[in-house]
């Protein structure tokens, strides 16, 4: 169970990534009521460019543990982008159950601004390093005019429009509704009135996607401490879990509106429908729509109409991305998984102030990401 959780998130952080992780860890330890010496497990991830600009760091988890003063019995690094932290939580719970460790630190993040300011993303970072080839497909992928992941999600949004008749306005409505949640929460990075028309007036980055339906990369770390004892927090655990990974490229699948979320959620669809609130990965507007359909919350092709007709506020039909999502909170180091988990834990511990879901007993969280949406993690947290 989680004994402590914290974030240290900034739009632009001037200092080093090591200061940022120290800040998040310090706050999480305080909540958990334990000290660094009590941490005996460590799980993290490395993405290029977000660790003070380094494209790579040899023996990365060990470097971090050494710096933070942690002597773990167990070290792990999960490398599939945004959903990785959700898998780390599930694995940490199991490791503790097995007696491998007592207090496992999940530390995920980095400085997105370092990459953002170089006008690249972690997926397109090879454009800055011609000697790096990110895929086995070499020039057949990387010499074309792509802008991943934006161009790839734009292709999914365009296909969804073509096949199911979803509209730009429906995607913009989702963004406007998430902004309402953000305004109400009082802890979002981006706030203020935002109408669907405002979203559609923002510049088109890769058609049909507009600037305001694309997550903004920021600087930050989240620290989650998974412990044998729950401490001051509610004793919540992963109730249902699934992860799925696919290896075919989007041009090789029959339908790019189908993601591995279908597979990762398939064993507990009925339970998903019974949750009190929902945190779905929101790297782009279309990402949320694909997950609504792929996890069985909404019939295939109907997510646009669903968004039009339903409220996603904490007292609405389907409380969704209750803190405004990473679209409004910023995406630390190109990964939104920690933002989803952090918000879920605020809600489940009655710490969400003005935006508290009443009687938040169960939450469905879905993370999706990595190269070409190849990875999905679905889980339900509850008592």
Partner 1 sequence: MKIEDVYNEYDRMFASSNMPFIRCNTCAKAYYYPRTVCPFCGSSSIEIIKSSGTGEIYSCTEFNGGFYGIIKFKEGFGAYMDIEGNNIVTGRNIIIKFREISGKILPYAFVD
- CB nearer to partner 1: give 26 or 250: 250
Tell me phi and psi for residue 358, to 5 degrees. Answer: -70, 130
Piece in contact with partner 1 (CB under 8 A), picked from 56-64, 186-194, 203-211, 310-318:
203-211
- CB nearer to partner 1: give 83 or 208: 208
CA dihedral 25, 26, 29, 33 (to 10 degrees): 180
Tell me the C-alpha distance between 196 and 13, whole Å.
30
Give the SS3 label for residue 168. Answer: helix
Q: Which of 17, 156, 189, 292 binds partner 1 (CB under 8 A)?
A: 156
Q: Which of 24, 104, 188, 206 binds partner 1 (CB under 8 A)?
A: 206
- CB nearer to partner 1: give 138 or 358: 138
CB of 128 to partner 1, least distance (A): 15
Count of residues interacting with partner 1 (CB under 8 A) = 32
Sign of the dihedral through C-alpha 48, 49, 55, 60? negative
Contacts of partner 1 in 219-258 (CB under 8 A): 247-252, 256
Q: Which of 21, 24, 43, 150 binds partner 1 (CB under 8 A)?
A: 150
Piece in contact with partner 1 (CB under 8 A), picked from 1-9, 47-55, 205-213, 314-322:
205-213
Q: Which of 118, 159, 245, 269 binds partner 1 (CB under 8 A)?
A: 159
Contacts of partner 1 in 254-293 (CB under 8 A): 256
| Pairs from 202-206 (Cβ < 8 Å, separation ≥ 24) | 205/147, 205/150, 205/154, 206/147, 206/150, 206/151, 206/154
- Residue 199 corresponds to which tokens in the numbers above? 């979203």
Residue 321 to residues 79, 87, 280, Cα–Cα distance (Å): 24, 19, 6
Is residue 154 a contact residue for partner 1 (CB under 8 A)? yes
CB of 233 to partner 1, least distance (A): 44
Tell me the C-alpha distance between 161 and 156, whole Å.
9
Piece in contact with partner 1 (CB under 8 A), picked from 10-18, 21-29, 202-210, 214-222:
202-210
Contact indicator for 289, 166 with CB cutoff of 8 Å: yes
Give the SS3 label for residue 366. Answer: strand
CB of 361 to partner 1, least distance (A): 40
Tell me the C-alpha distance between 195 and 163, whole Å.
26
Tell me the C-alpha distance between 283 and 288, whole Å.
8
- CB nearer to partner 1: give 207 or 353: 207
Contacts of partner 1 in 119-148 (CB under 8 A): 136-141, 143-147
Contacts of partner 1 in 6-65 (CB under 8 A): none
Tell me phi and psi for residue 283, to 5 degrees. Answer: -65, -35
- CB nearer to partner 1: give 322 or 374: 374
Q: Which residues are near partner 1 by CB under 8 A?
A: 136-141, 143-147, 150-151, 154-156, 158-159, 162, 204-209, 247-252, 256
């Amino acid at each position: 169970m989680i004994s402590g959780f914290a974030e240290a998130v900034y739009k632009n952080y001037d200092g080093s990534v090591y200061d940022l992780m120290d800040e998040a860890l310090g706050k999480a330890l305080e909540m958990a009521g334990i000290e660094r010496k009590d941490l005996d497990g460590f799980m993290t991830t490395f993405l290029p460019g977000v660790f003070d600009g380094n494209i790579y760091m040899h023996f990365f988890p060990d470097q971090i543990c050494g710096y933070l003063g942690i002597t773990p019995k167990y070290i792990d690094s999960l490398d599939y982008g945004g959903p990785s932290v959700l898998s780390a939580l599930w694995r940490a719970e199991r490791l503790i159950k097995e007696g491998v460790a007592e207090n496992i630190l999940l530390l995920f993040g980095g400085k997105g601004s370092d990459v953002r300011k170089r006008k690249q993303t972690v997926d397109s970072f090879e454009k800055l390093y011609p000697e790096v080839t990110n895929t086995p497909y070499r020039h057949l992928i990387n010499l074309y005019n792509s802008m991943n992941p934006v161009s790839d999600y734009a292709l999914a949004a365009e296909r969804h429009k073509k096949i199911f008749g979803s509209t730009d306005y429906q995607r913009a409505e989702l963004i406007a509704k998430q902004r309402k949640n953000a305004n109400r929460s009082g802890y979002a990075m981006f706030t203020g009135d935002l109408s669907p028309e405002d979203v559609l007036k923002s510049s088109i980055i890769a058609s049909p996607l507009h600037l305001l339906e694309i997550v903004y990369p920021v600087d930050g770390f989240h620290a989650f401490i998974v412990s044998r004892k729950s401490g001051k927090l509610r004793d919540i655990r992963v109730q249902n879990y699934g992860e799925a990974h696919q290896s075919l490229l989007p041009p090789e699948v029959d339908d790019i509106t189908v993601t591995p979320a279908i597979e990762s959620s398939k064993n507990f669809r009925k339970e998903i429908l019974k949750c009190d609130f929902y945190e779905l990965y929101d790297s782009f507007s279309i990402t949320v729509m694909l997950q609504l359909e792929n996890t069985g919350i909404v019939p295939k092709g109907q997510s646009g109409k669903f968004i039009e007709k339903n409220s996603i506020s904490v007292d609405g039909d389907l409380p969704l991305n209750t803190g405004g999502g990473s679209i409004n909170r910023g995406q630390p180091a190109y990964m939104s998984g920690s933002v989803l988990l952090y918000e879920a834990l605020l809600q489940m511990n009655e710490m969400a102030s003005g935006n508290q879901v009443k009687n938040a007993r169960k939450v469905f969280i879905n993370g999706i990401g990595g190269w070409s949406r190849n990875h999905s993690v679905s889980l339900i947290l509850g008592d």
